[in-house]
């Protein structure tokens, strides 16, 4: 077990956890090779029961933290970030546990009374170690999909019955039972506007090793009708083919030769149509401004990266077509963009490109097609900070405010080297009181000079060790450090 974990002030809780940890340590030392296979399976069943039950205790703790939340307890701005940093889990997993706690942990009334969990039978089965995370996922998804017209009594009866089945069935078997029960409860498939509004969503997945992103869209009827109209025009064979001469064609009909050359699948044509629509609306200028910049694509690269980009011809596309390769560049949304796409997008001249010297971080080129001087300062921050500079924060630059590292009221300047990115919740943490954070630039001689250091209040860190956010600069985790690195999170 991890011997560095802090002790609990309550003696009874500390004793219970110590007993649990001691038992686990003893179990880890047990030799199981003399056992029969039947006994090995029984051991696995006992272990599985413990593993399934422990999350129930964790969900109760999460619900209690939520109910008694105070911004003075942690350096983080909400329960999700506190769980992610404190347990060293991803923000998405932290959000999942927080949502599960809202349904599977006990609740408190306004006058301090205790209520059963929203899914009481499911919560009881989890506490008993009878069901695991996969069972819980099936049960929660079942109730998420039920229409709002189903009355409370029917919901309660369904939850009791499904939880009982979950105690004896595998998750895949339970899913079949849930699907059949849903068909019985809602035989006509009745859903209203409230149900559709609740289920609408768009999830932009993470980029894979090839920089491609998988997206999940649940479209309401109105959005579907818009997409059908767009695809009818722009996803026709020969229209908007990036590999043909009709790439820019938006009017009229593609000529028969272009249709003949178009070997894209239907899905590929629809993908390219969406890209055409997004590029057209960004180029139109009709989206206004976002945090001081006209809505556009902001890209960061360095002079060395541009100079080192390798151009070559592809025999498959003829000797006249040149392709550029090099390290991917970073956008204001935190995603990676291939170098050849950057060069091609620059031809549209509707995006921002900041070029910096690798050696000293000095801005060498600031290219833009829009107006206002303060926009240039934000572009420099996109290039230097990429995203929020608060330790451990993952918010990209598009979602950040511009912060004076030395407060304007205290004489701080508005020069680019005196500004930094901070998302709105973390921006509110900065101030001059004993309970607030301070921000200063990293000095000359520091491994990352000029970057923003966040100094926590004594309530968070009695030594007030400066911290730098390395999240948006992952290569810094791999770089050799001449001295112990700044702490990243509390």
* pLDDT for 267: 93
* pLDDT for 487: 53
Rg (the chain; Cα; Å): 28
Q: At what angle do helices 37-67 and 91-104 cross, to 10 degrees?
A: 80
pTM for this entry: 0.65
What is the distance of C-alpha 246 from the center of its chain?
Answer: 36
What is the distance of C-alpha 380 from the center of its chain?
Answer: 24
* pLDDT for 339: 74
DSSP one-letter string for 380-398: HHHHHT-B--STT---BGG
Q: Which residue has the tokens 């151009």?
A: 311
Domain-by-domain residue ranges, the chain?
1-28, 29-185, 209-284, 293-379, 388-478
Give residues with Cβ within 8 angstroms of 24, minimum separation 6.
1
> How big, in percent rounded to 5, are the helix, strand and coil portions of the chain?
45, 15, 40
φ and ψ at residue 72, rounded to 5 degrees:
-90, -5
φ and ψ at residue 401, rounded to 5 degrees:
-100, 160
Q: How confident is the chain (490 residues) per 10-residue block, as mean pLDDT?
A: 77 94 93 94 95 96 92 81 91 93 91 90 96 95 91 95 96 94 87 86 88 91 91 87 61 80 90 88 73 64 59 47 64 76 59 50 40 55 84 86 67 61 88 85 82 88 88 76 50
Q: Which residue has the tokens 């001249």?
A: 349
> DSSP letter at 397?
G
Per the CB < 8 A criterion, the answer to whether 156 and 162 are in contact is: no
In b/e form, how buried is each residue of 20-44, taking b as 16+ CB within 10 angstroms? eeeeeeeeeeeeeeeeeeeeeeeee
> DSSP letter at 7?
P
Q: Which residue has the tokens 């619900």?
A: 63
> Among residues 356, 359, 357, 384, which one has the least CA distance to residue 367?
356
Residue 52 has a CB neighbour count (10 Å cut-off) of 20
Cα(91)–Cα(206) distance, integer angstroms: 13
Q: Which residue has the tokens 């007030």?
A: 464
């Amino acid at each position: 077990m991890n011997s560095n974990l802090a002790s609990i002030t309550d003696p009874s809780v500390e004793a219970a956890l110590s007993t649990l940890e001691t038992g686990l340590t003893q179990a880890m030392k047990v030799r199981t090779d003399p056992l029969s296979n039947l006994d090995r399976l029984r051991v696995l069943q006992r272990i599985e029961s413990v593993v399934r039950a422990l999350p129930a205790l964790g969900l109760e703790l999460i619900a209690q933290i939520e109910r008694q939340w105070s911004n003075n307890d942690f350096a983080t701005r909400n329960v999700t970030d506190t769980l992610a940093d404190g347990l060293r889990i991803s923000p998405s997993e932290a959000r999942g546990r927080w949502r599960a706690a809202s349904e599977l942990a006990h609740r408190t009334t306004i006058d301090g009374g205790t209520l059963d969990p929203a899914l009481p039978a499911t919560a009881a089965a989890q506490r008993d170690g009878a069901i695991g995370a996969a069972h819980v996922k099936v049960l929660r998804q079942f109730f998420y999909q039920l229409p709002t017209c189903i009355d409370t009594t029917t919901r309660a009866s369904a939850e009791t019955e499904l939880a009982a089945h979950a105690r004896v069935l595998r998750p895949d078997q339970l899913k079949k039972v849930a699907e059949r029960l849903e068909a019985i409860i809602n035989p006509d498939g009745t859903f209203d506007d409230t149900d559709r509004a609740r289920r609408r969503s768009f999830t932009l997945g993470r980029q894979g090793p090839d920089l491609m992103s998988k997206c999940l869209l649940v479209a309401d009827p109105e959005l579907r009708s818009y997409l059908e109209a767009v695809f009818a025009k722009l996803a026709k064979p020969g229209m908007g083919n990036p590999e043909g001469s009709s790439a820019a064609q938006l009017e009229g009909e593609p000529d028969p030769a272009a249709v003949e050359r178009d070997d894209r699948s239907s899905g590929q044509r629809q993908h390219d149509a969406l890209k055409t629509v997004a590029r057209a609306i960004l180029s139109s200028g009709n989206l206004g401004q976002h945090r001081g910049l006209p809505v556009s694509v902001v890209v960061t690269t360095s002079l060395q990266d541009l100079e080192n980009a390798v151009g070559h011809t592809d025999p498959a596309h003829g000797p006249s077509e040149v392709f550029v390769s090099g390290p991917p560049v970073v956008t204001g949304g935190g995603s990676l963009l291939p170098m050849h796409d950057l060069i091609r997008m620059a031809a549209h001249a509707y995006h921002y490109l900041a070029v910096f010297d690798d050696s000293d971080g000095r801005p060498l080129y600031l290219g833009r097609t829009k107006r206002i001087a303060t926009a240039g300062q934000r572009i420099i921050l996109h290039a230097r900070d990429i995203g929020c500079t608060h330790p451990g924060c993952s918010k990209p630059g598009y979602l950040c405010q511009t912060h004076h590292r030395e407060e304007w009221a205290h004489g701080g300047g508005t020069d680019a080297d005196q500004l930094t990115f901070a998302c709105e919740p973390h921006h509110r943490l900065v101030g001059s009181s004993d309970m607030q954070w301070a921000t200063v630039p990293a000095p000359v001689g520091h491994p990352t000079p000029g970057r923003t250091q966040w100094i926590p209040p004594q309530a968070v860190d009695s030594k007030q060790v400066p911290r730098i956010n390395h999240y948006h600069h992952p290569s810094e985790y791999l770089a050799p450090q001449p001295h112990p690195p700044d702490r990243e999170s509390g």
